[in-house]
A = this chain, B = another copy of it.
Amino acid sequence: MYQKKTDLALETRELHAKKGVRDGIRTEERTENGVKVTVLRVDPDGEEKAGKPAGTYVTLELGRFWGAGGTPGAFADAAGVLAKELRALLPAERGCVLVVGLGNERITADSVGPRAARGVLVTRHIRVLDERLFESAGFGELAAIAPGVLGQTGVESAELVRSAVGSVKPCCVVAVDALASRRLSRLATTVQLSDTGICPGSGVSNARTALTRESLGVPVVSVGVPTVVDAGTLAYDLLEEVAEREGRENDLPLYETVVERLLHGIGQDFFVTPRDSDAIAAGAAKLISTGINLALHDKLTPEEIADYLSTGS
């Protein structure tokens, strides 16, 4: 069976529902300030059935916050909801939070993580250099790194993060990454938060690449935005829809062969993106860094945060 590529728990859920799989995932929906919020919970003993690590997955459906499609103020509203949901996943005790921007800044669709890390207001060094100033300003304590990708550094980003955690000793890690979705309509309109951590790149988790509480020794909250749809997944969804419509499900293996040959014959992955994928990546990164800043510097106004940022080299 064709392995559909999605990083969204919500879509895994949809696939299960469609196949009638009883995955034991508990679902709860609500609306926050006009944003649809879906919370999925996987129990520790339900990981296998769910096909997802145990934990909480929060999906925000924000619509097109980053462009003029949205109403005025859409961006600010989206950032506010993101900040609130993010705070709810962070540990109660408030020490230093290490923001990790995963991905390759040189590849547009993969640049959300590094760009978001550059957009947060870091303050850990201020505390080190001038505790008084730090306290009086009302900062949260925040550090941020963009470890790059294996092809750039020769080192697994997870290894670099683990060693950075060793020297920064944060109370938790917030890992930002670009995701793959099954639906074009989700590109830069959906944000997924999770307390389960993440695995950069391939969905295949392993000790070497995982960014989890187990591998890092501190809680890991992930924040991700879909920026691409895997072309094979989209094509296969398309064929599946046609097959069902005609009651020819038994042709699916054949279709699969066609997709394989057409898309993967060339020996590299292809993605489907909208024309303005550059604007999408920039907008998504801005939203996430803004949401993180509001969540962690909750004693500052958005204007104060903007002013501090505008001097940052």
Which of A10-18, A21-29, A54-62, A159-167 is the interface stretch? A159-167
What is the total number of residues of chain A having a CB less than 8 Å from a CB of chain B?
A: 88
Which residues of A from 74 to 106 have beta carbons under 8 Å from B? 74-75, 104, 106
B279 near A268 (CB under 8 angstroms)?
A: no
- Check: A34 CB closer than 8 A to any chain B CB: no
A238 near B254 (CB under 8 angstroms)?
A: no
B266 near A275 (CB under 8 angstroms)?
A: no
Taking CB atoms, residues of chain B closer than 8 Å to A265 are 185
Taking CB atoms, residues of chain B closer than 8 Å to A268 are 274-276
- Check: A116 CB closer than 8 A to any chain B CB: no
With A160-B145, A311-B68, A311-B69 given, is the CB distance from A242 to B258 under 8 Å? Answer: yes
Which residues of A from 232 to 283 have beta carbons under 8 Å from B? 234-235, 237-239, 241-242, 245-246, 251, 254-255, 258-259, 262-263, 265-266, 268-279, 283
A118 near B166 (CB under 8 angstroms)?
A: no
A122 near B276 (CB under 8 angstroms)?
A: no
Taking CB atoms, residues of chain B closer than 8 Å to A239 are 238-239, 242
How many copies make up the complex? 4
A166 near B168 (CB under 8 angstroms)?
A: no
Kindly report which residue of chain B lies nearest to residue A67, judged by CB atoms.
Answer: B311
Which of A43-51, A212-220, A300-308 is the interface stretch? A300-308
Instruction: Tell me how far the C-beta of A258 lies from the nearest C-beta in chain B, rounded to whole angstroms.
Output: 6
B308 near A152 (CB under 8 angstroms)?
A: no
Kindly report which residue of chain B lies nearest to residue A265, judged by CB atoms.
Answer: B185
B234 near A313 (CB under 8 angstroms)?
A: no
Taking CB atoms, residues of chain B closer than 8 Å to A237 are 262
B144 near A153 (CB under 8 angstroms)?
A: yes
- Check: A133 CB closer than 8 A to any chain B CB: no
Kindly report which residue of chain B lies nearest to residue A124, judged by CB atoms.
Answer: B154
A154 near B303 (CB under 8 angstroms)?
A: no
Q: List 28 A-B contacts (CB under 8 A).
A: A67-B310, A70-B307, A72-B301, A72-B307, A107-B275, A107-B277, A107-B313, A108-B108, A110-B275, A122-B152, A145-B148, A145-B153, A145-B155, A149-B313, A155-B168, A159-B167, A166-B166, A184-B266, A234-B262, A238-B239, A238-B259, A239-B242, A241-B258, A242-B242, A242-B251, A270-B273, A279-B310, A283-B310
A contact residues vs B (CB 8 Å cutoff): 66-70, 72-75, 104, 106-110, 118, 122-126, 142-156, 159-160, 162-164, 166-168, 184-185, 231, 234-235, 237-239, 241-242, 245-246, 251, 254-255, 258-259, 262-263, 265-266, 268-279, 283, 301, 303-304, 307-313
